[in-house]
Chain A
Amino acid sequence: MGLLSKKDANLILDPLADNNPITIQVLGICSALAITAELQASLVMAIAVIFVLGVGNVVISLMRNIIPSKIRIIVQLIVVATLVIIVDQVLKAFAYELSKTLAVFVGLIITNCIIMGRFEAFALANGPWKSFLDGIGNALGYGVILILVGFFRELLGSGTLFGIPVLGDPIAKTGLYATGYENNGFMIIPPAALIVVGIIIWVQRTKNPALVEEN
């Protein structure tokens, strides 16, 4: 990466794997459970969080020297809420269809612990450029897991990807369904997300034993 110094590049790359907000820090689980039954919803959520966390981190970082420490959490909340409402309003005016898909995420983004966590742990102590990279990196790390979980849940639960049937028609029994395969209804209910996330964590720690905590 010629564009970024090694340190800066790590800000983006670390959260993708070895310091992933979902699988290592176990943050943002609530939204990972709620919206990953479909790949499309996962993708939309990932993009929304990348935007909010990237911009929010910069805003908080710029304000870091003037925010009174007593009310910093409230200030952080206001910044997130404002950003989310701006996105929501602009989409409603210029991309109405998309805004309807997003409506359900607005509340989930504001309460996403990854966002508050990065504001508090990183942006309050670092400059805007570093904070921006950190925000994008963490949001990407979150998004990657979301999309991965969404992929498996939609494929196994509904036999579709992005709403398009990929395994054949379950009612007419064509494609894979002709062999007696059935969709697993369990995959579309929230507990399945927990299991998929658990499997991802297991695979990741098996490949990299350094991540396993000592007791």
Chain B
Amino acid sequence: MAINTDKNSYTVVFAAVMVVVVGSILAFLASYLRPTIAENERFEKQQNILYAMGVNENGDDVGAVNFVPKEIVESEFANYIKEQLVIEGGKITENKDAYLIDLKKQLAAKKKGQPYKLPVFIGEKQSKKFYIIPMYGKGLWDAIWGFVALDETMTVQGVYFDHKGETPGLGANIKMRYFMDDFSGESILKGTQYAGIAVAKGNNDPLNKDKDDNEVDALAGATITGNGVSAMIKESVNLYKPYLEEIRAK
């Protein structure tokens, strides 16, 4: 069987056939798996939001995080999250699917000057209220995002960070407990300013005993990811400032 693989016409036909074959395989696979993947992503978001307000299965190991199991996350989410609000142009409405709002798209819309929606989740645990706001920003390689749970005094009750592609062992450690746990107890206020919380190198407080400095200790070797986290918190806090003012005034 001798095909002249050097002919231009053969090359073009081969390329076309290859594209069609590969395209159909991937298209078929993607549409077949989409419902399962979407469900996984939905559960993950619920787990993340619950994690920020302290509903999780963390043990004594301060390394990795342990979420509420996937099987029960939906019912736990309904239990703990009392209200889901959407802020759109200063108006606040309730929306049961607010957690599905993609903050990345909303921020992009804001940048273009289009109307955008901001979700807020109000959780309640042992009759204590948590105001959970989402965050989205960029790290060294790709997107980073997370949730921060605040109380009425704007003190952080818990955070959750995640990332798309930060370096394993370095920036990727923003989702480790020893980094995230440091944020609890810090205030996003400095006096009356919404200062956020900075990931600081050389703040001389590696155990994070000082909870009034608006700073947590940085991760060694992950400067840019850390700066990304600081910027992300600041941006989100400023974005939600009007709403947070309202909570404080209550």
List chain A positions with a Cβ less than 8 A from chain B: 34-35, 37-38, 40-41, 65-71, 74-75, 78, 82, 85-86, 89-90, 92-94, 96, 103-104, 107, 153-154, 157-158, 160, 163-164, 171, 185, 188-189
Contacts and interface: CB of A to CB of B under 8 A. Distances in A.
A71 B165 contact: no
B44 interface: yes
Nearest to A37: B169
Interface residues of B, number: 33
A129 to B, nearest CB: 20
B108 interface: no
17 contacts: A37-B167, A37-B169, A40-B168, A68-B10, A68-B11, A68-B14, A90-B33, A92-B37, A96-B40, A96-B44, A103-B164, A153-B169, A158-B169, A163-B63, A185-B220, A189-B170, A189-B221
Contacts of A86: 25-26, 29
- Consensus secondary structure, chain A interface: helix
Given A89-B29, A92-B33, A163-B63, A38 B168 contact: yes
Contacts of A157: 169
Nearest to A85: B26
B1 interface: yes
Given A69-B6, A90-B33, A82 B14 contact: no
Contacts of A78: 18, 22
B220 A188 contact: yes
Contact of A89 (B11, B30, B169): B30
B249 interface: no
B33 A89 contact: yes
B6 A93 contact: no
A158 B62 CA distance: 14
A41 B173 CA distance: 12
Contacts of B167: 34-35, 37, 104
Contacts, number: 89
A158 B1 CA distance: 59
Nearest to B167: A34
Contact of A188 (B1, B15, B141, B221): B221
Contacts of A93: 33, 36-37, 40
A142 B102 CA distance: 39
Contacts of B29: 86, 89-90
A57 B30 CA distance: 24
B3 interface: yes
B11 A103 contact: no
Instruction: Choose among B33, B168, B169 the residue with the greatest number of A CB atoms under 10 Å from its CB.
Output: B169
Given A71-B14, A78-B18, 7 more contacts: A37-B167, A70-B11, A82-B26, A96-B40, A104-B164, A189-B170, A189-B221
Nearest to A68: B11
Contact of B11 (A71, A158, A160): A71
B221 to A, nearest CB: 5
Nearest to A81: B22
